[in-house]
A and B are shown apart, each in its own frame.
Chain A
Amino acid sequence: MSKLWSLTRLQLLGWFGLNKALHTKIPGQRRKNLFTAVGAIFLILYFTGISYVYSDQVGKAFETVEALPLLPGLMMATASLVTLMTTIYKVNGTLFNFRDYDMIMALPVKTAVVVASRMMALYLLNIGFVLMVMVPAGVVYGLRAQPEPLFYGRFAVSLLMIPFVPIVAATAIGILIHLVSAKFRYKNLLNILLSAAAVLAFMAGSSSFNAEGVNIADITGALTGLINNIYPLAGFYVNGVVLGQTTAFLAYLLLSLGVFAAFAALVGYRFKRIHTRLTAASTRRRFVMGAHPQEGSTPLRAMYARELRRYFASPIYVLNTAFGVILFTAMSVALMFFRPESIGQLLEMPFFADYISRMAPLMASTFMALSSTTACAISLEGKALWIAKSAPVKAMTVFHSKLGVNLTVTLPAVLVNGLLLMGALKTGPADSLLLLTLPAAYAVFMSLAGLVINLRYPFLDWMSETQPVKQSASTLITLLVGMGSVAGPLTLVIKYPQLNAHLVSFGVLMLLIILSAGLYAYLAARGEKLLKSLES
């Protein structure tokens, strides 16, 4: 057990630069760490607050149809589904493709313990999210239903079980996707496509419940169907935890723990073989010089091409940064074929139609505000940063190549989806113009903001790509900046319907242009020094 904890702890210390933060002696770094910690606490409180408001609204609705006991079940199913979807593409980096594999596997520790420690890391990554969803749901249920005291005990115990089965399912899917794509030449591209398809399929599958035509007399039955549709294990959860059926409760606990333990043992048994198949690089036949002559290129074009290759070489990088673009495209295409009201129903967002007609440019911008490849572009250089630093080019050339990749991912999506939305929503001239310019301004702003934040908060000594992409201060702060920049104006327009949404959008556009110009000027003035000061 102590070995399992030691191996798990080793990974935890690498998250968000935690260990560095704890041991730094540099005053400036301490200030930065404090800022990051405050940001993280704000983000946690923000999500918990939203989660509480959502649970309260759903609880109120469920109470009117006497289906309140389903509230914890619905939230548990939602948390499980999100855990599953967000874990699929973490599997490779956390479980198999980590840099210290040789060092860890050479230790006198059973392979099953190594696997268990990697899966524990996945568990700990998810339990925080589960707590943010479930604790507010439990509080809302407790206040509204006034359940027996034993409920709280069952609720607390079951809380810790929630991530187990989704992690097992995600790991199985992740391994399968990696094994299938490993057989092909363009394995990374296939990996990206299959992972995105799996996540989209789960999203579509979970929201395929159609509320139309439901008999109002059997609304509880219909809601139970909805929850089971999202996550079949939720039935056991509701019966066992909420309704207090001992058999169902024990079945839920045993099933969660048993599936996790059995899967860890199974993967442990085959771990080295799976690892070899996933990480073995195929060698081509004898290289022939001059068989594929290449034209020379400028330093900037060479840097950009290299950066683009780097981007598409990492499925977790692509899936984490391009998902906003994929969802944006899915929404635009859906709006071409379905009325906004139908999509709102599908997404369980009753106000979607009203919002999209009033503030389409701001809603479209949300996707761009959450897409920044630059937030970890410097970190991903890792130990190879010396190449960019010793290259005879200005730091701005390196930065331009990184900004270029973000804009390559986002701007075509802005243009195509903007045109699709114009056609689908039959927008007027002001909305049409803003549909193109506002998301584009967000794309530019997020490229620059992500890069500056990453230069200030680099994470270069990572062991797996998952760390800089998903567990770094830089991506966390960039996410916070992106969310804040779009949540502010959206809240303003929603809260004060009398406000002219065009005017607000135009104001945001101007602000983004000024901020982007400021960030670019900062990069030009301080970038060289910042890049040079990075130590890998």
Chain B
Amino acid sequence: MMLEIRNFSKTYKGGKKAVSNLSLNIEPGDLYGFAGHNGAGKTTTIKAIAGVLDFEEGDILVDGSSILKDPVACKKKLAYIPDNPDLYDYLTGIQYLEFIADIFEIPSSAREARIRRYAEDFELLNDLGDLIGAYSHGMKQKLAIIAALIHEPKLMILDEPFVGLDPKAAKTLKDIFAQLCQNGGAIFFSTHVLDVAEKLCNKIAIIRQGELITAGLMDDIVGDSSLEEVFLELTDHE
């Protein structure tokens, strides 16, 4: 199993329960969408998987390692991109990528080729010498994606990855997703753009007020309807 979420619950200080007893399995090759209204618990779940949010109940296993017991091993296998990636504005694009490459201990021999490849794919190569502070929102998003890819993760965890990307970059990202899944990796991403999820994902999970209301193969869940109709029906009427 690439990602195993076991009875995960998260209660914030002050008593607000964000996610309740969520269990989900993501297998190699899965492109898993995660949908829900604003405040449903998507970002909380994603942050917990990425190891940036502490939790007390349940466990999350990345390729067999527990994020609670061995966070460093888990983080080495995954890549996380938040919904609005704030980066270090005082670094240049290339300095940031070199920094991430150092943190992930990517050998010098491999990093240049990878940076070149992804920077060319996202048309950012010429701008890597500029300060990130001078980048547009979309350019920062692209840089965050390149940084997430250079250690060749097995699992990608993304929060609203298509927001801010131009159509070409969105297409490039979709191609990369497909490639990674073909190679035995897995993707888990949250989205509000349901038609993208429907076209792209083989599996979908829908969460409402912190509780998982359905999860499984896209075809089984959608059937003859559309994901949008199913989503609205499940989230509004259940």
Chain B residues within 8 Å of A390, by CB = 50-52, 75, 80
* A389 engages B52 (CB within 8 Å): yes
* B91, closest chain A residue (CB): A309
- Contact mask for chain B residues 86-125; partner A; CB cutoff 8 A; 1 contact, 0 none: 1110110111001101111111100110011001000001
- Contact mask for chain A residues 284-309; partner B; CB cutoff 8 A; 1 contact, 0 none: 11110110011111110111011001
B82 in contact (CB, < 8 A) = yes
Chain A residues within 8 Å of B50, by CB = 386, 390
* A281 engages B133 (CB within 8 Å): yes
Which range contains the number of A residues in contact with the other chain? 35 or more
Give Cα distance in the complex from A511 to B91, angstroms.
40
* A281 engages B130 (CB within 8 Å): yes
* B130, closest chain A residue (CB): A283
* A313 engages B112 (CB within 8 Å): no
A298, A302, A383: residue with the most chain B Cβ atoms closer than 10 Å: A302
* B115, closest chain A residue (CB): A289
Chain B residues within 8 Å of A528, by CB = 71
Binds B, one of A22-30, A54-62, A234-242: A22-30
Give Cα distance in the complex from A298 to B87, angstroms.
21
* A286, closest chain B residue (CB): B126
* A296 engages B106 (CB within 8 Å): yes
Number of interface residues of B (CB under 8 A): 49
- Contact mask for chain B residues 133-150; partner A; CB cutoff 8 A; 1 contact, 0 none: 110000000000000000
- Contact mask for chain A residues 372-389; partner B; CB cutoff 8 A; 1 contact, 0 none: 000000000011101101
Chain B nearest CB, measured from A430 CB (Å): 44
Out of A25, A383, A532, name the residue touching B54 (CB < 8 Å). Answer: A532
* A289 engages B128 (CB within 8 Å): yes
Give Cα distance in the complex from A411 to B54, angstroms.
35
Chain B residues within 8 Å of A277, by CB = none
Chain B residues within 8 Å of A295, by CB = 108
Chain B residues within 8 Å of A314, by CB = 90
Chain A residues within 8 Å of B90, by CB = 309-310, 313-314
Give Cα distance in the complex from A393 to B76, angstroms.
9
B13 in contact (CB, < 8 A) = yes
* A297 engages B14 (CB within 8 Å): no
B176 in contact (CB, < 8 A) = no
B129 in contact (CB, < 8 A) = yes
Out of B94, B102, B112, name the residue touching A298 (CB < 8 Å). Answer: B102
- Contact mask for chain A residues 23-47; partner B; CB cutoff 8 A; 1 contact, 0 none: 0111011000000000000000000
B131 in contact (CB, < 8 A) = yes
* A306, closest chain B residue (CB): B99
* A287 engages B104 (CB within 8 Å): no
B196 in contact (CB, < 8 A) = no
* B119, closest chain A residue (CB): A289
Additional 16 contacts, C-beta under 8 A, given A26-B13, A299-B103: A283-B130, A284-B129, A285-B129, A296-B101, A296-B111, A298-B102, A299-B102, A299-B105, A302-B98, A306-B88, A310-B88, A383-B86, A386-B82, A389-B51, A390-B51, A392-B76
- The 15 listed contacts between A and B (C-beta, < 8 Å) are A25-B14, A281-B133, A283-B130, A287-B130, A289-B112, A289-B119, A299-B103, A313-B90, A314-B90, A383-B84, A384-B88, A386-B50, A392-B103, A394-B72, A529-B54
Which 6 A-B pairs rank lowest in CB-CB distance, beginning with the nearest?
Answer: A302-B102, A313-B90, A287-B129, A281-B134, A383-B86, A392-B75
